[in-house]
Amino acid sequence: MTSGKTVMLFGLGDLGGWLLEFLAREDGIGTIITLDNREQWGALKTQGAAAGSGHMGYDKTIRFEQCDLLTDMDKATELLSKYNPDFIYSSMGLLSPTLLRFLPHDVHQKLEGMSGHLIPNQYILISKLMKAVKKSGVTAPVLNNSWPDIVNPMLWRNDLGPLVGAGNLDIVVAYMRWRVSITENIPISQITIYFIGEHSVTMQGSRTGIPYYLKILKGEEDITGKFDADSLVSEYILPGMTGDTASWIVRPTVASCAARLIMAILNDTNELTHAPGPNGMIGGYPIRAGARGVEVVLPEGITMEEAIKINTDSMKREGVEEIREDGSLVLTDEAQEVGKELLGVDWKEIPIADIEDFCWEGLKAYKKLAEKYGTPAHIY
């Protein structure tokens, strides 16, 4: 019999698969239940992680359950009740954002900058999972890794909010801490970074004029001024990265962000880290994470109002003008024009009540675009 906490992982795609491998080698987790709609793939992936984990001396129960949340929310509810996990993670989406990196560069750049049309297909499955969690009565915290900067606030406004997201600005922080530690010739653990920024700055860089906030400490010493902040923020973008290389270079770092956050909450370390969508907030913030949840932690020199404005202004740079009180989206005029030009859809508003219809219309449009350029679709 294994001891330790139970974690349920919904989605064993590129990102979820990396996270499984990391958590399978973490102390304090006794049971991992993986779930995916693909039975053969899910079973094989889970068996591989279980065998490798055991081979390295970890005594865990790692088990796969086939579950398609799109068609069988009741099964998800039953499985949640059955395993009563201590933590729930989801990386589910109906279209992989990696699709954009396979497209011609100019098309990719236009869509990257105005990609609000991708949000409905990132919203649907996590919304169904949150409904299943609510119905099951399970009280475990939920981490959503599907566009949490925007999707988490949408869910919170419908009383379906995950606790937090992972990745996005935290990936940039991971690269920055590494780069600063090399420059200063000190361990990464001695570098503290406070970074505030929405998903758009992590994808397009800061030289585009997207606002952000950065403070770097070496121990207690503020060394921000020693660095070109725009270079630190933007070099993470890794110019020339393709869809294939993104899988091997970016996804493990995203998974490490999620693993760090999950373990901080399960082990109640109250450690300082970064996350998008904490407690339903738009964009990303420095936070402290522990068993009681997550809390935004700002350094001296910036107010909460200023931090919120950075993120709400920045979301416009990926095509979202507003998230309404009911979770509906209003796209920017520029995003509407890009949608008409490249996808053949004319969206200005995405009412939350009709978001599933928008999801399927968007998926068809992206599939058609992928076929036009002969690129992989990665569509559900």
Tell me the C-alpha distance between 268 and 49, whole Å: 26
In a domain, 163, yes or no: no
Mean pLDDT of 210-220: 97
Domain count, the chain: 2
At which of 279, 301, 316 does a domain end?
A: 316
List pLDDT tens digits, range 125-181.
999 999 999 999 999 999 999 999 999 999 999 999 999 999 999 999 999 999 999
CA angle 174, 179, 184 (to 5 degrees): 125
The CATH number of residue 312's host domain is 3.90.110.10
Considering the domain architecture, whether residues 145 and 195 belong to the same structural domain is answered as no
Mean pLDDT confidence for 289-303: 97
> Where a domain ends, among 287, 316, 345?
316
pTM for this one?
Answer: 0.96
Q: Give yes or no: residues 173 and 299 share one domain.
A: yes
Q: Is residue 337 part of a domain?
A: no
The burial class, CB within 10 Å (0-12 / 13-18 / 19+), for 292 is: exposed
Same structural domain, 39 and 147:
yes
The answer to whether 166 and 202 have CB atoms below 8 angstroms apart is: no
- Among the candidates 132, 156, 180, a domain finishes at 156
149 and 245 together in one domain: no
CATH number at residue 101: 3.40.50.720
Encode pLDDT of 327-371 as tens digits: 999 999 999 999 999 999 999 999 999 999 999 999 999 999 999
User: How confident is the model at residue 45, as a pLDDT?
Assistant: 97
Q: Do 144 and 65 fall within a single domain?
A: yes
The reply to whether 80 falls in a domain is: yes
Q: How far apart are CA 207 and CA 176, in angstroms?
A: 16
Shared domain check, 255 and 202: yes
Confidence bin at 1 (pLDDT 50/70/90): very low
Beta-carbon-side half-sphere exposure of residue 148 (alpha carbons within 13 Å): 30
Q: Would you report the helix, strand and coil content of the chain in percent, each value rounded to 5?
A: 50, 20, 30
Percentage of the residues of the chain whose pLDDT score is greater than 90: 85
pLDDT at 58: 97
Would you state the pLDDT for residue 170?
Answer: 96
- 75 shares a domain with 175: no
Query: Does one domain contain both 121 and 208?
Result: no
pLDDT for residue 23: 98
pLDDT at 247: 73
Whole-angstrom Cα distance, residue 350 to residue 364?
16
Residue 62 to residue 162: CA distance in whole angstroms: 24
- Find the domain containing 35 and state its range: 5-156
Is residue 322 domain-resident? no
**Looking at the structure, do residues 55 and 142 belong to the same domain, yes or no?**
yes
